[in-house]
Chain A
């Protein structure tokens, strides 16, 4: 039994909670404002309703720091971008949400405490502290991964799914048990999004709207879907490894651009014609990586006997990954796959507000500013999930 109403709203007459979420752990700066109605079904008599808070999204703004093709984002420049835009975005979000007097109306300010890049995290946390002191509103530090999970659960209403969290910095298969989101399998080296991003850098394709999206588009233009370029398939039990795949396909792409005829995978031995295009490489890379992801998710499902999967994180907006996962779920247990679109998949402020507000409603908020120090290392299973049974 979980009572989500332990803390009453700031103005009890209003019968709702209002939370501001600030996200800036990587190159996206997100500000979101959400409203939870004060419901009797989430109160003391409720069983486990944290996936169904009747959330109302009042504002969800994001600004992405986009680098030129062939370049990644550096922490220093990303932090500068966040510092430049944070205040403007908050002002716009408050305006959009119709919050005139933040001081009186906001119940809580939530910010990302980690994991992520240090400098961008610091600059956003600084803004959060300032707003908190200025408006006298309590603060909640949120684990980024838990934010993704809670947002996905609220949007899809999936009660207890196996979670596949795939983004630029994380690749984890997570299942909930006993107040923790436990990591069943994860990458042993680079994340799947990072692998795609870095390959996009090698191909020198644009970073806007996102490198992964552009790879997806190229892959869908692949003309020869029957034959794949053979890539290493590196599932290690419940975990996977992707650095080898990246290094190999990078070398293929470089040989392709250089016209290295000695490479028999790319060029015909006799005629010297190219057998493989950039689109083929993108298609093969996606098929290979996603097959690995679906396989470890299936392992976790078999292990915990689940029939639902929730995909979260930036890579989760990839249609091909969602399609493959849906096929697997159907074949496995006539189960369902839950996924969200780019508004909620890709890092945003709303997800931080959602997880943060749940935490706040359980009475767990920052009592002293020393607790707001951000951390680059913050494992998903370090968070005590008090809002679930």
Chain B
């Protein structure tokens, strides 16, 4: 399948732009390219990498649903990324260019390879790497608190992610201190929303993702994330505390409903 899609993308971006496949998700394929769409190539940009995220056409769904979804999701993601990049403290990839009708986004490349061949530096691989020796080490705690902080900032500003999993959180080595800076990526299902329901679902999706991949240490990991999350709200004083209580209450409700819903059939 990926050859067909890569063929599609090649004809679309032309031969002038070399692409390398790095990941194939359910909804989009992601390539890296050394070419910046509008900056001249000179020594300062040499060696830089950029991301091309392409949403291929899905044959299984009706063309009008497909077109509407591709456009809607690409436009939504582009708009969201540009708005999120203006929030102070929130770390998301920078948007470089987009072509919504063809479902293509050009983004800043984030992350690197983890030491000891543990793979790409997303949260999932990072936790796995640490699970082997010291699952509750300080660096894990610090990182998860920061992850919670990022999600807190996102929610406090009334945005939701929609598909918050441990592979959608990329860690970048910090320039200032020894540690990792989490960045949220893949806002394909993200939205502007002030509803506690959406935020509760976001937290629940992440909790479940952590539980399914790191079940042994999940309780503590999730507690740290929520701690980091709560700190953002608590900094906002009384109003923040009120919103936080409401949100956590709904989060508990979503968890109950998701796991214990009665089913008939």
A301 near B201 (CB under 8 angstroms)? no
B61 cross-chain contacts in A, Cβ below 8 A? 287, 291, 294-295, 324
The answer to whether A193 touches B201, judged by C-beta atoms less than 8 angstroms apart, is no
Shortest A247–chain B CB gap in Å is 16
Residue of B nearest to A324 (CB): B60
A169-B59 in contact (CB<8A) = no
Stretch at the interface among A50-58, A63-71, A234-242, A361-369: A234-242
Query: Across the two chains, which residue of chain A brings its CB closest to B162?
Result: A237
Beta-carbon contact of A294 and B264 below 8 Å: no
Tell me, yes or no, whether A49 is within 8 Å of chain B by CB.
no
B265 near A291: Cβ-Cβ < 8 Å = no
Residue of B nearest to A334 (CB): B1
Q: A295-B26, A331-B1 are in contact. Are A233 and B69 (CB under 8 A)?
A: yes
- For the complex, give the distance between the alpha carbons of A209 and B258 in Å: 32
Q: Which residues of B contact A332 (CB under 8 A)?
A: 1
**A377/B65 in contact, CB under 8 A:** no
Asked if B25 and A302 make an inter-chain contact with CB atoms under 8 angstroms apart, the answer reads: yes
Residues from chain A with Cβ under 8 Å of B162 in the complex: 236-237
| Residue pair A287, B265 in contact (C-beta under 8 Å) | no
Nearest residue, chain B, Cβ from A235 = B189
Evaluate whether A298 and B65 lie within 8 angstroms (CB atoms) in the complex, with A237-B189, A237-B201 already known. Answer: no
Q: Which residue of B lies closest to A315 (CB)?
A: B265
- Chain A residues with CB below 8 A from B45, complex form: none
- The answer to whether B62 and A327 have CB atoms under 8 Å apart is no
Is residue A333 within 8 Å, beta carbon to beta carbon, of the partner chain?
yes
A115 with B262: CB separation less than 8 A: yes
A-B contact count (CB 8 A): 105
A265 beta carbon closer than 8 Å to chain B: no
The reply on A191 being an interface residue by CB < 8 A is: yes
Complex interface bits, B209-239 against A, C-beta within 8 A gives 1, otherwise 0: 0001000000000000000000000000000
Contact among A26, A193, A287, A330 with B65 in the assembled complex (CB-CB below 8 Å): A287
Contacts of A377 in B (CB 8 A): 260, 262-263
> 1/0 per residue B121-140: CB within 8 Å of A?
00000000000000000000
Q: Does B259 contact A (CB under 8 A)?
A: yes
Contact residues of A between 214 and 255, Cβ < 8 Å to B: 226-228, 230, 233, 235-239
How far apart sit A334 and B3, CA to CA, in the bound complex (Å)?
12
Asked whether any CB of chain B lies closer than 8 Å to the CB of A356, the reply is no
The answer, yes or no, to whether A328 is at the interface (CB within 8 Å) is yes
Q: What residues of A have a CB within 8 angstroms of the CB of B26 in the complex?
A: 295, 298-299, 301-303
B163 engages A288 (CB within 8 Å): no
Residue of B nearest to A378 (CB): B263
How many Å from the CB of B43 to the closest CB on chain A?
A: 39
With both chains docked as a complex, state the minimum distance between the C-beta of A202 and any C-beta of chain B, in angstroms: 20
Q: Which of A233, A299, A325 contacts B60 (CB 8 A)?
A: A325
Pick 13 A–B contacts, CB within 8 A, sort by A. A115-B265, A117-B264, A145-B263, A237-B162, A237-B163, A237-B189, A294-B60, A303-B26, A327-B59, A331-B58, A331-B60, A333-B1, A376-B264
What would 8 more interface pairs be, CB under 8 Å, given A295-B26, A378-B263? Answer: A169-B264, A236-B201, A288-B65, A291-B60, A302-B26, A330-B1, A331-B60, A379-B260
Chain A to chain B: the 10 pairs with minimum beta-carbon distance, closest first? A169-B265, A169-B264, A291-B61, A327-B60, A167-B265, A302-B26, A299-B26, A324-B60, A298-B26, A170-B265
